[in-house]
């Protein structure tokens, strides 16, 4: 809800406009530590990544000591997975709603990093999933307007009566079915999306919510393309969070959507919940999240799209494409039908 969303489109529409690349010499020699990680109230393998950002690049920080502590001083030691991902520290664990957690990191150069202790809040329930097909206008890099159709999944969220309503964030991954042409071998593949979150960044503040039920909330938006030719499954995670984390993600969203127009606020550096104990003016980038989580799956079948159905990807003219010859060439694909697949 912002004038700046509208202004460039109006000006583009009415007058001649274009986008081109220009040279602007930007360089910054400063080195910054980046920390990010999350724990939640479900048993899972959680990871905390530590990197250094300098000269437009990211470099992993190895051999750090990483502990998550709760409000009873119970320590959860995260161990670096050097073989698979240097600078990534992992642990299988489960958090407890109502308990407070923070992370302590000692880097190899003896820098002590701590996050602000955060209480794990219970995630509310979701229900009434549905989807619609919606049109959206965007401007491409050539300045042309493009109208695209999206699958928009919605749901209701029911907050608990009389309790503090947490702020929310949805992360959604996807999985879809792919059929080779029937007269060849008729293999069906099940392909997991490579993107860990199909959303750009979907967060919600309950501050202006009337009542305890949030109805028709947008959960995820995805381009309607051949992935929807047969069956698509959305794996939805809804995380609860406190106001500080919400403000962090809102700042991230603002930064990511900043196009530097006259109607954009000046971009700033997103400040997380981590501090360098040895030097509090040193800016540590990133966030350590402590959340409750609610998970759900939602299927979109080709039939449910009605008139907005999508033609199968291996129609006439496309049958010689490699995936139509062997769908296993698609990354993250498998012939094993998931147990939850209808």
Partner 1 sequence: MSCLRQWGRRGSLFLGYLLIVLFPRLSIAQDTMVVRIGSPGNVQDQKSHILSGRVLQKNSNEILPGATIKVIRTNQVVVADDSGSYRLILSDGESLVSVAFIGYAETIYKLNIYQDGTLDLNLFESTATLKQIEVNANMINRAQDGIGMEKMSVEQLNQRSKFLGEIDVFRSLQSMAGVSSIGEGSSGINVRGGNTDENLILQDQHLILNGTHALGLFSLSHPDMIEQVSLYKGNMPAKYGGKLSSVLDIRMKEGDLNKFHGSLGIGIAASRFLLEGPIQKNKISFVMGLRGSYLDWLLKQSDNISLKNSKALFYDGTFKIDARISKNTKAGVSYLTTQDNFKFTDEVKFDYQTKSFVAYLKQVVGTKINLSLTLNDGSYNSNLFDIKSNDQSKFNTNIKYVRLIGLMQYQVAKNYLLEVGAENNHYTVRPGSIVPFGGLSNIKSTSLSLEQSNELNFFGHNRIEVTKNLEIEIGLRYTIYNSLGPAILYQYQSGKPKTDLNIIDSSFISAKDKIKTYQHLQPRISFSYSINGRSTVKGGYNQAVQYLNQLSNTSSASPTDLWQLSNFYIAPQKADIYALGYYQNSESKKLNYYANVFYRKVKGLIDYKDFAVVLLNNHIETDLLRGKGKAYGAEFFINKVATKTNFEFSYTYTRSLRQVLESSEQESINKGQWFSSNYDKPHVINANYFLEFTKKTSFSANFTYSTGRPTTAPVGVFNQENIFDIPIYSDRNQFRIPDYHRLDVSFTVGPWGDKTFKHQLAFSIYNLYSRNNAYSVFFRQNAFLRTSTYRISILGAAFPSINYSIKF
* Sole binder of partner 1 in the list 46, 48, 51, 203 (CB under 8 A): 51
- The one segment of 109-117, 118-126, 249-257, 330-338 that binds partner 1 by CB under 8 A: 249-257
User: Please, which residue, 187 or 250, has the CB nearer to partner 1?
Assistant: 250
- Per-position DSSP letters for 272-340, written without gaps between them: -SEEETT-TTSBPEEEEEEE-EEEEEEEEESGGGGGG----TTSTTTTTSHHHH-GGGSTTEESSPPTT
**Which tokens belong to 76?**
């959860």
- The one segment of 75-83, 91-99, 257-265, 309-317 that binds partner 1 by CB under 8 A: 257-265
Question: CA-CA-CA-CA torsion for 215, 217, 222, 224, nearest 10 degrees?
Answer: 30
The gap from C-alpha 53 to its chain's centroid, in whole angstroms, comes to: 21
Residues 128-147 that bind partner 1 (CB under 8 A): 135, 137, 141, 143, 145, 147
Question: CA-CA-CA-CA torsion for 160, 246, 280, 32, nearest 10 degrees?
Answer: 140
Shortest spacing between CB 320 and partner 1, in angstroms: 28
**3 touches partner 1 by CB under 8 A:** yes
Total site size for partner 1, rule CB under 8 A: 83
**84 touches partner 1 by CB under 8 A:** no
* Residue 342: strand, helix, or coil: coil
| Contact criterion met (CB below 8 Å) for 291 and 119 | no
**12 touches partner 1 by CB under 8 A:** yes
* Sole binder of partner 1 in the list 71, 74, 98, 268 (CB under 8 A): 268
Q: How far apart, in whole angstroms, are the C-alpha atoms of residue 125 and residue 296? A: 10
Q: How far apart, in whole angstroms, are the C-alpha atoms of residue 177 and residue 4? A: 39
User: Please, which residue, 121 or 314, has the CB nearer to partner 1?
Assistant: 121
**285 touches partner 1 by CB under 8 A:** yes
**55 touches partner 1 by CB under 8 A:** yes
Residues 205-244 that bind partner 1 (CB under 8 A): 208-211, 214-218
**254 touches partner 1 by CB under 8 A:** yes
User: Please, which residue, 155 or 327, has the CB nearer to partner 1?
Assistant: 155
């Amino acid at each position: 809800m912002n004038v700046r969303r509208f202004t460039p489109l109006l000006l583009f529409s009415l007058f001649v406009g274009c986008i081109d690349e220009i040279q602007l010499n930007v360089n910054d020699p400063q080195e910054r530590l980046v920390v990010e990680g999350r724990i939640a109230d479900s048993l899972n393998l959680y990871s905390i990544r530590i990197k250094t950002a300098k000269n437009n690049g990211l470099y992993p920080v190895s051999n750090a000591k990483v502990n998550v502590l709760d409000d009873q001083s119970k320590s959860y030691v995260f161990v670096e997975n050097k073989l698979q991902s240097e600078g990534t520290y992992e642990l299988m664990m489960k958090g407890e709603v109502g308990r407070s957690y923070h992370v302590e990191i000692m880097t190899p150069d003896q820098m002590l990093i701590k996050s602000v202790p955060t209480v794990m809040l219970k995630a509310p329930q979701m229900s009434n999933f549905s989807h619609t097909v919606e049109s959206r206008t965007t401007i491409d890099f050539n300045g042309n307007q493009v109208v695209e159709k999206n699958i928009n999944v919605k749901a209701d969220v029911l907050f608990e009566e009389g309790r503090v309503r947490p702020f929310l964030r949805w992360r959604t991954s996807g999985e879809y079915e792919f059929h080779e042409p029937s007269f060849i071998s008729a293999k069906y593949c099940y392909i997991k999306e490579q993107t860990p979150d199909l959303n750009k960044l979907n967060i919600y503040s309950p501050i202006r919510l009337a009542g305890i039920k949030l109805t028709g909330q947008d959960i995820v938006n995805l381009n309607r393309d051949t992935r929807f030719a047969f069956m698509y499954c959305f794996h939805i995670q809804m995380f609860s969070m406190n106001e500080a984390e919400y403000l962090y993600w809102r700042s991230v969203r603002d930064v990511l959507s900043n196009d530097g127009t006259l109607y954009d606020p000046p971009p700033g550096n997103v400040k997380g919940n981590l501090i360098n104990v040895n030097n509090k003016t040193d800016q540590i980038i990133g966030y350590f999240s402590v959340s409750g989580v609610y998970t759900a799956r939602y299927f979109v079948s080709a039939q449910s799209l009605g008139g907005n159905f999508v033609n199968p990807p291996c129609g006439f003219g496309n049958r010689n494409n490699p995936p139509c010859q062997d769908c296993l060439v698609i990354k993250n694909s498998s012939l094993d039908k998931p147990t939850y697949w209808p």
